[in-house]
Amino acid sequence: MGLTNFTYSHTIGLASFEGRGFMNPVDVRVNSKGVLYVLSRSNAQNKDVRVSVATLDSDYKFEFGRWGTDPGKLTMPTALVIDRQDRVYVADEHMHNVSVFAEDGKFISRWGEPGTGPGKLNRPAGLAFDSHGDLLVVDHLNARVQKFTPEGAFISSFGEFGSAAGQFNYPWGIALDNAGDIWIADWRNDRVQKFRPDGEFVAAFGRTGSKPGEFRRPSGLAIDDGGDIYVADWQNDRVQVFTPQMKPREVLNGDATLSKWCEEFLAVNPEQRDQRIASGIPGHEERFFWRPSAICTTSDGLVMVADSCRHRIQIYRRVRVPVTAP
């Protein structure tokens, strides 16, 4: 398979209540046209939740899904995913539902209701589509994963509360590999678990700690086209990269420079620039991740990290280097 090198590319974002920028981004996805969709969770005071749409070159397009409980609104969004038709699905843990939007942000539908029975939801989190086009939903407080049709009809589920093999304690992120196997970030158990497409337990990886292969509240997951697994190691403020066998491959700690949006903002607001410099904010630590929440990879080698508490997306380029025989 060879070695994998990661090169920092650029950063998109700055703290913003609307328009260009994000407010505590918790998920990021790219559609079939290479357009970026970023989910801002915000907080109960600011209520600046939204999905922001931009190009990878930092060209801001539009936003949708602002705060509220009416159809087309979001309150406490946790994750988003994009289907083959570029429709956007967003999980909301306050309303216990999933909202569906068109590529342009137009509201289509929403489904889901609170409860513990089959097809009911209790604070849904991670979302992923399988190869059949069915939607897998991490049912966070019900400690299970449920499968639905895109229209919200219940199909099946697996998992229960606990710390034994195949059990969950506040599961959050989800990703599927090329074989259709399901990987879950078992948040409070500080581990990642692997399941067959039918929900059969395969293996668990990790334990509490900060060494390679250890986690402190893993959140988002991604799997690239080569099978490498990316884990947003949330409380350790890092992203760990593993081989398909979950052997440590790389650790990303963050390499951010100022985004284009931030540079343009400071250029026209010199008083803000001077205050920023006087406060000592531009320092060594500013480049690092602060509570990374989600990761998205693309077939052309991009790796995007939702750097939640710094209100930005850090973007890397992945290059596979063949191993040559001596």
Residues 239-280: tens digit of each pLDDT:
999 999 999 999 999 999 999 999 999 898 888 777 777 776
Predicted local confidence at residue 44, as pLDDT: 73
Predicted local confidence at residue 294, as pLDDT: 98
φ/ψ of residue 266, rounded to 5: -70, -30
d(CA 217, CA 237): 10
Predicted local confidence at residue 1, as pLDDT: 45
Classify 274 as helix, strand or coil. helix
> Which among 116, 78, 25, 7 has a CA at the least distance from the CA of 313?
25
Beta-carbon count within 10 A of 309 CB:
14
Which residues of the chain carry a pLDDT beneath 70? Answer: 1-4, 280-284, 321-326
- Domain 3-321: assigned CATH number: 2.120.10.30
Predicted local confidence at residue 319, as pLDDT: 85
Predicted local confidence at residue 282, as pLDDT: 64
The tens digit of pLDDT for each residue in 163-190 reads: 999 999 999 999 999 999 999 999 999 9
Secondary element (H or E) of residue 197: none
Predicted local confidence at residue 285, as pLDDT: 81
User: Which residue type occupies 188?
Assistant: R
Strand bridging mode 124-129 / 135-139: antiparallel
CB 220 within 8 A of CB 27: yes
Task: Copy the structure tokens of residue 256.
Answer: 């951010």
CB 304 within 8 A of CB 288: no
